[in-house]
């Protein structure tokens, strides 16, 4: 029975281990970059900016179309009002319903609408450039974070191997001390070295965890614990781009890098702003049309009847004879208001024409806007020149950094080989008692440090080569 329970526990632990491993996804660099391009918040912001630019373009197209607005109202007038049917002032409550339709179109507006449309197209193009730049920047950040994980992972292996070796040496030193072959001070040195190596392992584990968290944040992942990258072995081999001259790389960067394209688009946008501001100083011609109709709910006059109470009235006298001139008196005959839709049909009216506006004086606002847009245009041209200078400087710096990283990697590799030989020699001397524990530990520490330095130099060189390649138009990852 006891054996059965032990077997059940063993298989339960084994299955749970398999499940936990299955939940951890080991991401490749390409998967990380592609996921970041879809989910990174900064990229989403750039995509929203691009959508806003598309909306601005749609609105600029709409400025060429006529406007059309409709309106309707229903009102109550209580008290002394003029009856629109009889023209008489009456103390009563009158209801009115009116409806209107208005339209206008810009015939000439100093070419402002045309320039706004061209500006909107340029802004949309600049937004696309900004999105591309953000994607390239995020790809570079992801690659750097990915390489940082690889470095910390290899460095952890080095520190763990160092710790394992120190534990073996501690056991060996204890045996030698017990046998009286070496002094007790060597054992204490080994214990101190073992404690220091444990601290290095803890520090390496923390660095690895932090680097994983950093990459997971770039990818906007919530499940930090089950995130890890694939264990790949990257070679630090020279790039063909380094065979190009710095000037050739600069010329290529001027062609492919979006920084220059963004600066050029900003110049074009500023130029359009100047033309828009200049158009505000010119006359504008607008065509308009309006349609209106109304209906009243008050009684209407449908005829007249003689006034029996006062059949006639004197309206004057004949000159010379003094004879009175009379006319019959009539009273209006009222009936209910005509049907509403009949009134709408009978009372409809149209109004159309042209409106010309000539700007004469507007408190210097139009002229000030023009001068301000000219200043912005000059600033955009200066920014374009500065962008070319910055790009050239960054390219030369990237090339210099890559060359320096290559030399550092080569020297660190040579140092590692020398330290490894020195450490092997120290092991032989320590084994036969020709070296004390302190000197042996020093040699071991120097060898471990050389291993870490070589790994760091390797990934630093790989990353800086990626930067140079990016300036030459080679993406971080090749699209499949």
What HEC string does the chain produce?
Answer: CHHHHHHHHHHHHHHHHHHHHHHCEEECHHHHHHHHHHHCHHHHHHHHHHHHHHHHHHHHHHCCCCEEEEEEEEEEEEEEEECCCCCCEEEEEEEEEEEEEEEEEEEECCCHHHHHHHHHHHHHHHHHHHHHHHHHHHHHHHHHHHHHHHHHHHHHHHHHHHHHHHHHHHHHHHHHHHHCCCCHHHHHHHHHHHHHHHHHHHHHHHHHHHHHHHHHHHCCCCCCCCEEECCCCCCCCCCHHHHCCHHHHHHHHHHHCHHHHHHHHHHHHHHHHHHHHHHCCCCEEEEEEEEEEEEECCCEEEEEEECCCCCEEEEEECCCCCCEEEEECEEEEEECCCCHHHHHHHCCEEEEEEEEECCCCCCCHHHHHHHHHHHHHHHHHHHHHHHHHHHHHHHHHHHHHHHHHHHHHHHHHHHHHHHHHHHHHHHHHHHCCCCCHHHHHHHHHHHHHHHHHHHHHHHHHHHHHHHHHHHCCCCCCCCC
- Check pLDDT > 90 for residue 477: no
Higher local confidence (pLDDT), 18 or 212: 212
Higher local confidence (pLDDT), 152 or 312: 152
- Check pLDDT > 80 for residue 359: yes
The whole-number pLDDT of residue 62 equals: 92
State the pLDDT confidence band at 19, using cuts at 50, 70 and 90: very low
Query: Is there a contact between 121 and 61 (Cβ–Cβ < 8 Å)?
Result: no
- Check pLDDT > 80 for residue 328: no
Query: To the nearest whole number, what is the mean pLDDT of the chain?
Result: 85
Higher local confidence (pLDDT), 285 or 75: 285
- Check pLDDT > 60 for residue 249: yes
State the pLDDT confidence band at 478, using cuts at 50, 70 and 90: low
pLDDT mean over 219-224: 84
pLDDT mean over 184-208: 87
The whole-number pLDDT of residue 18 equals: 38
Record the pTM.
Answer: 0.77
Query: Is there a contact between 279 and 297 (Cβ–Cβ < 8 Å)?
Result: no
Higher local confidence (pLDDT), 360 or 79: 360
Question: How far apart, in whole angstroms, are the C-alpha atoms of residue 190 and residue 213?
Answer: 35
The whole-number pLDDT of residue 4 equals: 45
The whole-number pLDDT of residue 184 equals: 76
The whole-number pLDDT of residue 278 equals: 93
């Amino acid at each position: 029975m006891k054996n059965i329970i032990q077997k059940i526990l063993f298989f339960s632990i084994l299955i749970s281990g398999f499940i936990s491993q299955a939940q951890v996804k080991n991401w490749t660099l390409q998967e990380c970059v592609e996921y970041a391009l879809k989910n990174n918040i900064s990229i989403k912001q750039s995509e929203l900016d691009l959508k806003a630019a598309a909306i601005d373009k749609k609105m600029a197209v709409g400025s060429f179309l006529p406007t059309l607005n409709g309106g309707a109202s229903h009102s109550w007038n209580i008290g002394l009002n003029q009856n629109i049917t009889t023209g008489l002032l009456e103390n009563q409550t009158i209801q009115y319903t009116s409806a209107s339709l208005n339209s206008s179109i810009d015939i000439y507006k100093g070419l402002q609408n045309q320039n706004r449309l061209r500006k909107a197209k340029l802004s949309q193009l600049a937004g696309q450039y900004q999105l591309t730049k953000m994607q390239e920047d995020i790809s570079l950040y992801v690659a750097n974070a990915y390489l940082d994980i690889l470095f910390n992972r290899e460095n952890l292996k080095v520190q763990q191997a160092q710790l394992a070796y120190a534990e073996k040496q501690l056991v060996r030193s204890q045996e030698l001390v017990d046998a009286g072959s070496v002094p007790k001070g060597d054992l204490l040195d080994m214990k101190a070295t073992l404690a220091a190596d444990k601290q290095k392992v803890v520090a390496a584990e923390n660095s690895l965890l932090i680097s994983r968290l950093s990459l997971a944040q770039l990818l906007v992942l919530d499940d930090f614990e089950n995130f890890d990258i694939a264990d790949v072995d990257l070679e630090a081999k020279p790039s063909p781009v380094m065979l190009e001259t710095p000037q050739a790389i600069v010329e290529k960067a001027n062609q492919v890098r979006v920084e220059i394209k963004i600066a050029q688009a900003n110049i074009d946008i500023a130029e359009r702003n100047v033309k828009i501001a200049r158009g505000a100083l010119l006359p504008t011609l607008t065509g308009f049309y309006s349609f209106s109709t109304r209906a009243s709910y008050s009684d209407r006059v449908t005829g007249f009847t003689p006034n029996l109470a006062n059949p006639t009235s004197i309206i004057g006298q004949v000159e010379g004879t003094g004879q009175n001139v009379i006319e019959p008196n009539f009273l209006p005959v009222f009936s209910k208001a005509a049907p509403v839709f009949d009134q709408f049909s009978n009372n409809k009216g149209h109004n159309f024409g042209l409106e010309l506006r000539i700007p004469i004086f507007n408190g210097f606002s139009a002229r000030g806007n023009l001068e301000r847009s000219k200043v912005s245009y000059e600033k955009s041209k200066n920014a374009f020149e500065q962008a070319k200078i910055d790009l050239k400087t960054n390219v030369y710096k990237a090339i210099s950094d890559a060359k320096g990283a290559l030399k550092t990697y080569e020297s660190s590799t040579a140092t590692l080989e020398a330290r490894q030989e020195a450490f092997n020699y120290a092991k032989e001397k320590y084994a036969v008692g020709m070296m004390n524990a302190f000197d042996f530990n020093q040699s071991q520490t120097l060898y471990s440090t050389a291993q870490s330095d070589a790994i760091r130099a390797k990934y630093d060189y790989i990353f800086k080569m990626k930067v140079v390649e990016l300036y030459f138009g080679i993406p971080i990852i090749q699209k499949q």
